[in-house]
Copies of this chain bind each other. A is one copy, B any other.
């Protein structure tokens, strides 16, 4: 039990059962019955919200837990030799972090909150033990990891060949879809990450990102005011990503929505 008032307030405010969590069907889409869920909940720790700039873990630290974002957002990055960092991903509500560390038993990147963020922490050892009795948990994790691999692939697709315009369009479309899935508006949202982070993630100079936002706005595609984005033509944005597969491919549109 924490001692200061702040924490107590936060805990009481955030102690929500999984089944009442708005992310329930994102975290646990497959059939988990009541008793199984209860046992899972017993090992899940709901951490006090972390402040902007705080770390969930650092690269090189031993791996102990998987995290699920409840609210807020987190960025993953790797520090590089020249004192810079390379951003490897952003994590929005309902998304998991730390999956890349299971195999190494060590975190390969650092995770930093981009804003006040609350997460669920799932201690991996306990999860493993429980999974021996409840194979459905393993199955669920495998599904989520598959989705993660699929999405990384999408990101490869994004960075692979495209122009700055296509990259930023694809990025915005991805963010939009992810917020939408989480129950928020697809056409209006705040970008919690800086232009710097976006450019870094997309392999573009900050200035190029700025210019692209300006161009998009001039073209009437969207309105942008710092971090506040309103997309006026989502369909055109999607087209601009250039990621629509060819013949017979409409059924597996690959610039994913979730």
Specify how many copies of this chain sit in the oligomer: 2
Given contacts A203-B159, A248-B60, contact A139 B142 (CB under 8 A): no
A109 within 8 A of B: yes
| Shortest Cβ distance from A161 into B: residue | B203
Chain B residues in 8 Å Cβ range of A160: 86-88, 159, 200-203
For window 84-120 of chain A, which residues contact chain B by CB distance below 8 Å? 86-89, 99-104, 106-109
Q: Find out whether the CB atom of A100 lies under 8 angstroms from the CB atom of B149.
A: yes
Given contacts A60-B248, A135-B138, A138-B131, contact A108 B254 (CB under 8 A): yes
A191 within 8 A of B: no
Chain B residues in 8 Å Cβ range of A244: 80-81
A59 within 8 A of B: yes
Q: Contact check: which of B146, B203, B251 meets A102 at CB < 8 Å?
A: B146
Q: Find out whether the CB atom of B135 lies under 8 angstroms from the CB atom of A254.
A: no
Chain B residues in 8 Å Cβ range of A83: 246
Chain B residues in 8 Å Cβ range of A248: 60
C-beta contact mask, A45-86 vs B, less than 8 Å → 1, else 0? 000000000000001100000000000000010111111001
Q: Find out whether the CB atom of A60 lies under 8 angstroms from the CB atom of B251.
A: yes
Chain B residues in 8 Å Cβ range of A243: 80
For window 103-161 of chain A, which residues contact chain B by CB distance below 8 Å? 103-104, 106-109, 128, 131-132, 135, 138-139, 141-150, 152-153, 155-157, 159-161
Q: B-contacting residues of A (Cβ < 8 Å)?
A: 59-60, 76, 78-83, 86-89, 99-104, 106-109, 128, 131-132, 135, 138-139, 141-150, 152-153, 155-157, 159-162, 200-203, 242-249, 251-252, 254
Rank and list the top 3 A-B pairs by shortest CB-CB distance, nearest first: A152-B152, A102-B146, A103-B146
22 contacts between A and B (CB under 8 A): A59-B249, A59-B252, A78-B245, A78-B254, A80-B245, A81-B244, A81-B245, A82-B246, A83-B246, A88-B156, A100-B149, A101-B150, A104-B150, A106-B252, A108-B254, A109-B254, A128-B139, A138-B138, A141-B142, A152-B156, A155-B156, A162-B203
